[in-house]
Amino acid sequence: MASVPSTMKGVIIETTGGTEVLQYKTDLPVPSPGDGQVLVHNDYVGVNFIDTYFRTGLYPAPKYPYILGRESEGTVVKTGSGDLYGLQEGDKVVMLSEGTYAEYTAANAAKAVKIKSGLEAKIGAAALLQGLTALTLIREAYPVKKGDWVLVHAAAGGTGLWLVQLLKAVGANIIGTASTQEKVDLATKAGEGNITMINYSKDDVKSKVMELTNNAGCVAIFDGVGKDTFDLSLECLARKGSMVSFGNASGAVPPLPIARLSPKNARLLRPTLFGYITTREEFEHYVDELMDFVTKDKLDVRIHETYALSDVARAHNDLEGRKTTGKLLLDPSK
Ligand code: NDP
């Protein structure tokens, strides 16, 4: 095992704002693993929309300076004390942890698992957060059944492509939205046989949804776009339908009077992944199911681009600028 240096590359923020607040450093202190933690040398780091929320201040950072990032894959290089769920030095792991925009992360062992043999490099970091989000949404937020009509916004995005593939596996009738023909084509391929895509830059989403569902609307709507699509989503919902609002890509949904749910006896949920994988048992259960989908059902884990860590601002700009499809990764060695 290579010795652990005292300093590392990483990206911190000391204030909130645009991508100019992202500071790439080469002399950050390498953290020490504490109780229940392992020190992981990150090979690949996932970029998620939530990272932009901490950067802009939509979600408050717990402290400053703050290292962004929520997921990675890498190797355990040092162990802390306490229950480490069997993890040892040398283990290749995939994990959900704060502070992954760096070469090393002191990670909560309860949210790290050994990578299954045979899984290609990058796939763990590309799959975990968005894949688990999509999987828990279709299992818990609204348990999707074969034949259900469901609407997925941003269907060619990172989480969207997972939703589409998992919903196809369940046998749902998927209606997806995207802003360009290239994205429409990509999501159509991902959900082939079960999906109708709508290019919302050209076509009216509500009338197409009503046409496809015989005016019934969709029994579940998975909406990670937020502010811009919330009203439209409610309009596309079926009576007794589940409106699953799970993100803010266009901004946070403003507060609404609860009576807006009455006309359709609608259910409104605003779930987070971490509320579905709080216990180790829940985490392992969903990771196992997700990895089975990846390895046995051969789901396509699309990687948009692997950016150098020093190029993190471009990654954020691309994600926020709707230029990406699938997963963005960072390579902390560069
Ligand atoms: P995506 O790869 O889906 O990128 C966001 C997409 O949203 C864009 O590509 C774009 O697709 C669409 N979009 C529509 N309007 C806007 C806008 N104004 N600005 C930017 N994008 C817009 O990102 P992720 O997969 O990382 O995240 C998707 C959503 O899921 C986010 O809201 C995120 O917060 C949420 N999420 C929530 C979790 C939870 O626990 N609740 C966990 C993980 C993700 P198009 O061009 O086709 O419109």
Q: Residues 141, 174: one domain? A: yes
Share of the chain above pLDDT 70, in %: 99
Q: Above 80 in pLDDT, residue 93?
A: yes
* CB of residue 213 inside a 6 A radius of ligand 1: no
* CB of residue 136 inside a 6 A radius of ligand 1: no
Q: Residues 67, 150: one domain? A: no
Per-residue pLDDT tens digits for 251-280: 999 999 999 999 999 999 999 999 999 999
| CA separation for the pair 136, 5 (Å, rounded) | 38
Residue 331's SS3 state is strand
* CB of residue 245 inside a 6 A radius of ligand 1: no
CA 50 to centroid of ligand 1, rounded, Å: 9
Q: Residues 133, 111: one domain? A: no
CA 159 to centroid of ligand 1, rounded, Å: 7
Q: Residues 149, 247: one domain? A: yes
CA 320 to centroid of ligand 1, rounded, Å: 8
Q: Above 70 in pLDDT, residue 124?
A: yes
In sequence order, which ranges of the chain are alpha helices (DSSP H)? Answer: 49-56, 123-136, 158-170, 181-190, 205-212, 230-236, 280-295, 312-320
Residues of the domain holding 235: 129-274
Residues 6 or more apart whose Cβ sits within 8 Å of residue 332:
9, 10, 42, 43, 44, 45, 101, 102, 103, 309
Q: Residues 105, 140: one domain? A: no
Under DSSP, the state recorded for 248 is -
Residue 207's SS3 state is helix
**Which residues lie across from 199 on neighbouring strands?**
178
Residues 6 or more apart whose Cβ sits within 8 Å of residue 70:
46, 48, 50, 51, 96, 97, 98, 100, 129
The number of domains in the chain is: 2
Output the pLDDT for position 1: 58
Is 287 within the bounds of a domain? no
Q: Give the other-Cβ count within 10 Å of 31's Cβ.
A: 18
Q: Residues 210, 259: one domain? A: yes
Q: Which two tokens stand for residue 173?
A: 């009738």
* CB of residue 249 inside a 6 A radius of ligand 1: yes
Average pLDDT value over all residues in the chain: 97
Q: What is the CATH number of the domain that holds 242?
A: 3.40.50.720
- Closest C-alpha to ligand 1, atom 15: 250
| CA separation for the pair 118, 133 (Å, rounded) | 23
Q: Residues 134, 253: one domain? A: yes
Per-residue pLDDT tens digits for 198-224: 999 999 999 999 999 999 999 999 999
* CB of residue 248 inside a 6 A radius of ligand 1: yes
pTM of the model: 0.97
Atom of ligand 1 minimally distant from the CA of 133: 42
**Which residues lie across from 114 on neighbouring strands?**
93
Burial classification of residue 234, based on how many CB atoms lie within 10 Å of its CB (0-12 exposed, 13-18 middle, 19 or more buried): buried
